[in-house]
């Protein structure tokens, strides 16, 4: 092994910092799934009857479905009867404000670098934190309310705003959409709900932090964001989990609806526990995310930085229904050790003059496999639709893999599509050049990787861009943007 | 400044340097000339600490320290600078970012405080002007899509900012037209000082018309076969390397 690959090996052996467990009393269902469990979840949450029916329909449909196997990932199939479908930190009643939240829980968030209090005071970021299955605290509620923005947990939305939930839930990702979405619809326990009224520009970044704590539980959150005519919102989500030997399932659904001239920017920094170097443990991240550009000139932009999870199966997509609507997908997916990621996007062009941009950066190290899978579909109705796709892969070391599966389907002759793809390695020349200028090998790799990801990082809101760089083991300031 | 004694090195099983000895005093400019395959570039790379070369004998003392014992980045921080024959591209990393990161790595090593962007920018701007470069140059990716001349000027810019004690120029003249060569040479000449030394590795004499060396060495088959003043370079230009090669084999 040459000196360079040895250095690279050292660099990619980084420990997982958020891997601690919080010792909390929790209310956890025994493992297993049947209609009674679904009734119990719905009951715990005092849901209206329509929600229970919706869940049961989803469950009955799920029973007829099989787990998808087309992704380029390899794992032992999940035993859905061995998972607990509900776990919540024990509280007598739902917390009314942060002072009522278990201090241990707040301590956990602090350790993860999300001090709720401080964020409330300083950063102007409103945070909803989902711990295991339930949402524990939503900050900044009053300020948002005065702007007419609703930002609360999904459970609360079901109780307080059932008409909105009923109108929109499942309209972007139907309960029968796919195996994991159907399962999520049946058992989801919480998540975030955002409603931005007509013409309102949300006065701050909204943020959700997801944390899986309890063992043997699945996390199934459901997020719904509705942007009314002419409104604008930027939403961030972050995710971590403790280190455990067994695999844990995370099957979330995110639905976005943008009406006329509305804009939704959705950013994710995903750092679920990736498993150890031998591939033991780690989160199975099977997520369905889809945005519907329902209105004219609406815009939905997905930005994701995926560094965690043992297996990632995730394709944040845009349905470009409204005329002149715009869809964007910016992605950095990092896989190391035995991680496997099959991720990408779908851009479905339905309306005239719709445009989409896909920028995907895959980084593979160790023995990891990194796959980009993207679909661009231009329907007959989508006159003058345009798409630009760029997918680049960077390999670190010689035992990893990068794969690209682009699917293009065009039914409208006036459409214009461009597709560019590259695969490169960090070369010994680059590394030596940086070292000769005084940088350590570790800083050099960080710098090169960061440069490779620049197009995506510059799409992230400031705070997240910093977190994303840190996640890649980068201690650079100011190089992004 | 630099004392090389009987340096021997090989790449895989092939011996390239077969006993090189060289003394470079502060402020001196040494030119190392020689035919292709004589070991010129290997010498530059061994001095800079590139992996893939195995030193099999001899010693290199730089400012009283064992140079061969240091990692490449330590050599750089101690003031050894290599201007590359083929500077690499680093897409997405802006030139100014690399410059600042490199300068701060070196300053930190020396125990100086790191410079911030406010102080750094005026410093760089003065330098790029003298190299006839546009300010936009700073914000482009490192060597990304640069012309050959721009890449070489960029090396000189880095040298000017990092203020090394020992500058090794590896075939800096290759691929340059006469105008670009003049700019590069002016840049180097501006950096000459009583406490900074240069080793210029070159195949051709023409670079030495613009950067006057104190000593010229001729390298052939891994050994220095002749040393002399600037006139030696002219002799080589006239006679070619043929007579040297014969001498070395004999």
Please indicate, yes or no, if residue A13 is contained in any of the structural domains: no
Report the run of H or E that residue A371 belongs to, with start and end. Answer: strand A369-378
Please indicate, yes or no, if residue A466 is contained in any of the structural domains: no
Report the run of H or E that residue A331 belongs to, with start and end. Answer: strand A326-335
Quickly state the pLDDT bin for A3 (edges 50, 70, 90).
Answer: very low
Domain total in chain A? 1
Task: Render pLDDT for A26-43 as a digit per residue (tens, 0 to 9).
Answer: 778 888 899 999 999 999
Q: Give CA separation, A354 vs A319, A375, A456, in Å.
A: 10, 15, 22
| Residues whose CB is less than 8 angstroms from the CB of residue A44 and which lie 6 or more positions away in sequence, other chains included | A86, A88
Please give the mean pLDDT across all residues of chain A: 83
* Dist. CA B167–CA A80, nearest whole Å: 65
Residue-level pLDDT at A2 = 44
Q: What are residue B168's phi and psi, to 5 degrees?
A: -110, 120
Task: Render pLDDT for A418-462 as a digit per residue (tens, 0 to 9).
Answer: 999 999 888 889 999 999 999 998 888 888 988 898 888 888 877
Task: State the DSSP code for B136.
Answer: G
Residue-level pLDDT at A470 = 64
Strands A401-410 and A369-378, sheet pairing: parallel
Quickly state the pLDDT bin for A239 (edges 50, 70, 90).
Answer: low
Please indicate, yes or no, if residue A1 is contained in any of the structural domains: no
A450 and B84 within 8 Å at the Cβ level: the answer is no
Greater pLDDT, B145 or A89? B145
Residue-level pLDDT at A329 = 97
Q: A397: alpha, beta or left, given left = phi > 0 and alpha = psi -120 to 50?
A: left
Residue-level pLDDT at A201 = 95
* Dist. CA A300–CA A255, nearest whole Å: 11
Greater pLDDT, B89 or A70? B89
Please indicate, yes or no, if residue A113 is contained in any of the structural domains: yes
Nearest CA to A138 out of A165, A163, A156, A122 is that of: A156
Residue-level pLDDT at A441 = 85
Question: Could you tell me the residue ranges of all domains in chain B?
Answer: 2-249
**pLDDT above 90 as % of chain A:** 47
Q: Is B108 helix (H, G, I), strand (E, B) or coil?
A: helix
Query: For residue B94, which residues of chain A lie inside 8 Å, CB to CB?
Result: 479
For A479, nearest residue in chain B (alpha carbons): B97
Q: Give CA separation, A452 vs A243, B91, B97, B240, in Å.
A: 29, 6, 14, 46
Q: Give CA separation, B62 vs A213, B82, B157, in Å.
A: 56, 14, 24
Please indicate, yes or no, if residue A448 is contained in any of the structural domains: no
Chain B residues in contact with chain A using a Cβ-Cβ cutoff of 8 Å: 48-52, 71-73, 75-77, 81-82, 84, 86-88, 90-94, 97-98, 101-103, 105-106, 109, 117, 141-142, 158, 162
Q: Give CA separation, B136 vs B94, B95, B129, B140, B232, in Å.
A: 10, 10, 12, 7, 42
Query: What dotted CATH number matches B2-249?
Result: 3.40.50.300
Query: For residue B93, which residues of chain A lie inside 8 Å, CB to CB?
Result: 447-448, 450-451, 454, 479
* pLDDT of A121 higher than 50: no
Please indicate, yes or no, if residue A475 is contained in any of the structural domains: no
Please spell the DSSP secondary structure of B23-92, one letter per residue. Answer: EE-TT-EEEEE--TTSSHHHHHHHHHT-TT-EEEEEEEEETTEEGGGS-HHHHHHTTEEEE-SSPPPEEE
Written as six digits, the tokens of A157 are 């939305």
* pLDDT of A18 higher than 70: no
Asked if residue B155 lies in contact with residue B87, where contact means CB atoms within 8 angstroms, the answer is: yes
Q: Find the DSSP H helices in A311-402.
A: none
* Dist. CA B58–CA A116, nearest whole Å: 62
Q: CA of B54 to nearest chain A CA: how many angstroms apart? A: 12
Average pLDDT over residues A466-470: 66
Torsion of CA B112, A432, A307, B95, to 10 degrees: 60
A438 and B73 within 8 Å at the Cβ level: the answer is yes
A454 and B92 within 8 Å at the Cβ level: the answer is yes
Quickly state the pLDDT bin for A99 (edges 50, 70, 90).
Answer: low
Global pTM value = 0.81
Task: Render pLDDT for A281-334 as a digit per residue (tens, 0 to 9).
Answer: 888 889 999 999 999 999 999 999 888 778 889 999 999 999 999 999 999 988
Of A133-142, A154-163, B179-188, the least confident: A133-142
- Domain range for A177 is 21-427
* Dist. CA B83–CA B95, nearest whole Å: 15
| Residues whose CB is less than 8 angstroms from the CB of residue A409 and which lie 6 or more positions away in sequence, other chains included | A375, A376, A377, A378
Best of A436, A472, A481 to disrupt the B interface (most B CBs within 10 Å) is: A436
A479 and B93 within 8 Å at the Cβ level: the answer is yes
* Dist. CA A321–CA A297, nearest whole Å: 10
Asked if residue A284 lies in contact with residue A310, where contact means CB atoms within 8 angstroms, the answer is: yes
A438 and B76 within 8 Å at the Cβ level: the answer is yes
Asked if residue B140 lies in contact with residue B171, where contact means CB atoms within 8 angstroms, the answer is: no
* pLDDT of A101 higher than 80: no
Please indicate, yes or no, if residue A170 is contained in any of the structural domains: yes
Q: Tens digit of pLDDT per residue, chain B (250 long)?
A: 999 999 999 999 899 999 999 999 999 999 999 888 899 999 999 999 999 999 999 999 999 999 999 999 999 999 999 999 999 999 999 999 999 999 999 999 999 999 888 888 888 998 888 888 888 889 999 999 998 889 999 999 999 999 999 999 999 888 888 888 998 999 999 999 999 999 999 988 888 999 999 999 999 999 999 999 988 888 888 887 777 655 554 3
Chain A residues in contact with chain B using a Cβ-Cβ cutoff of 8 Å: 2-4, 427-430, 432-441, 443, 447-448, 450-455, 476, 478-479
Please indicate, yes or no, if residue A32 is contained in any of the structural domains: yes
* pLDDT of A463 higher than 70: no
Best of B48, B93, B146, B165 to disrupt the A interface (most A CBs within 10 Å) is: B93
**pLDDT above 70 as % of chain A:** 77
Task: State the DSSP code for A76.
Answer: P
Greater pLDDT, A44 or A88? A44
* Dist. CA B133–CA B154, nearest whole Å: 9
A450 and B92 within 8 Å at the Cβ level: the answer is yes
């Amino acid at each position: 092994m040459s000196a360079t690959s040895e250095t690279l090996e050292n660099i990619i052996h980084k420990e997982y910092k958020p891997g601690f467990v919080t010792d909390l009393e929790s209310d956890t269902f025994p493992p297993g799934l049947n209609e009674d469990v679904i009734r119990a979840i719905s009951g715990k949450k005092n849901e209206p009857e329509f929600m229970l029916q919706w869940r049961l329909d989803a469950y009955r449909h799920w029973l007829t479905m099989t787990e998808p196997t087309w992704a380029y990932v390899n794992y032992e199939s999940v035993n859905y009867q061995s998972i607990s479908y509900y776990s919540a930190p024990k509280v007598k009643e739902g917390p009314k404000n942060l002072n009522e939240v278990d201090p241990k829980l707040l301590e956990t968030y602090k350790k993860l670098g999300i001090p709720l209090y401080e964020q409330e005071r300083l950063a102007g970021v409103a945070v909803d934190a989902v711990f295991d299955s339930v949402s524990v605290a939503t900050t900044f509620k009053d300020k948002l309310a005065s702007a007419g923005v609703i930002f609360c947990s999904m459970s609360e939305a079901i109780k307080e705003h059932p008409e909105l939930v009923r109108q929109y839930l499942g309209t972007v990702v139907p309960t029968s959409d796919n195996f994991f979405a159907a399962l999520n619809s049946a058992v989801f326990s919480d998540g975030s709900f955002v409603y931005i009224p007509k013409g309102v520009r949300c006065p701050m970044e909204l943020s959700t932090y997801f944390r899986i704590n309890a063992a043997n539980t699945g996390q199934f959150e459901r997020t719904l964001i509705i942007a009314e005519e002419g409104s604008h919102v930027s939403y961030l989500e972050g995710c971590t989990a403790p280190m455990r030997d067994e695999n844990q399932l995370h099957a979330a659904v995110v639905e976005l609806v943008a009406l006329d001239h509305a804009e939704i920017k959705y950013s994710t920094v995903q750092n679920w526990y990736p498993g150890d170097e031998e591939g033991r443990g780690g989160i199975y991240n099977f997520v369905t995310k889809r945005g519907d550009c329902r209105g004219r000139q609406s815009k939905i932009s997905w930005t994701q930085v995926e560094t965690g999870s043992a297996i990632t199966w995730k394709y944040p997509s845009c349905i470009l229904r409204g005329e002149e609507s715009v869809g964007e997908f910016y992605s950095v997916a990092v896989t190391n050790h035995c991680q496997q990621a099959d991720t990408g996007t779908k851009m479905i062009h339905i309306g005239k003059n719709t445009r989409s941009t896909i920028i995907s950066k895959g980084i593979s190290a160790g023995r990891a496999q990194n796959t980009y899978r993207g679909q661009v579909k231009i329907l007959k109705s989508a006159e003058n639709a345009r798409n630009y796709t760029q997918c680049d892969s960077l390999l670190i070391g010689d035992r990893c893999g990068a794969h690209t599966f682009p699917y293009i389907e065009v039914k409208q002759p006036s459409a214009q599509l461009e597709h560019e793809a590259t695969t490169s390695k960090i070369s010994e020349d680059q590394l030596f050049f940086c070292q000769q200028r005084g940088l350590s090998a570790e800083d050099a790799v960080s710098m090169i990787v960061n440069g490779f990801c620049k197009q995506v990082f510059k799409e992230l809101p400031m705070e997240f861009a910093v977190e994303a760089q840190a996640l890649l083991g980068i201690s650079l300031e100011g190089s992004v943007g | 400044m630099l004392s090389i004694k009987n340096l021997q090195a090989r790449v895989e099983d092939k011996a390239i340097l077969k006993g090189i000895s060289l003394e470079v005093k502060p402020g001196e400019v040494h030119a190392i000339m020689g035919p292709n395959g004589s070991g010129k570039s290997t010498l530059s790379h061994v001095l800079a600490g590139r992996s893939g070369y195995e030193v099999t004998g001899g010693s290199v003392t730089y400012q009283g320290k064992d140079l061969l014992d240091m990692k490449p980045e330590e050599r750089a921080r101690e003031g050894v600078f290599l201007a590359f024959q083929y500077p690499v591209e680093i897409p997405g990393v802006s030139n100014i970012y690399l410059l600042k990161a490199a300068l701060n790595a070196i300053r930190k090593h020396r125990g100086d405080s790191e410079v911030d962007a406010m102080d750094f920018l005026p410093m760089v701007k003065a330098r790029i002007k003298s190299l006839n470069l546009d300010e936009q140059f700073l914000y482009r990716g490192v060597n990304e899509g640069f012309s050959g001349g721009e890449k070489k000027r960029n090396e000189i810019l880095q040298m000017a900012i990092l203020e090394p004690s020992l500058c090794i120029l590896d075939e800096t003249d290759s691929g340059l037209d006469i105008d670009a060569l003049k700019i590069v040479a002016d840049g180097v000449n501006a950096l000459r000082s009583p406490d900074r030394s240069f080793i210029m590795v070159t195949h051709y004499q023409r670079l030495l018309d613009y950067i006057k060396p104190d000593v010229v060495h001729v390298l052939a088959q891994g050994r220095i076969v002749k040393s002399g003043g600037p006139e030696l370079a002219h002799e080589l230009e006239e006679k070619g390397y043929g007579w040297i090669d014969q001498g070395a084999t004999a």
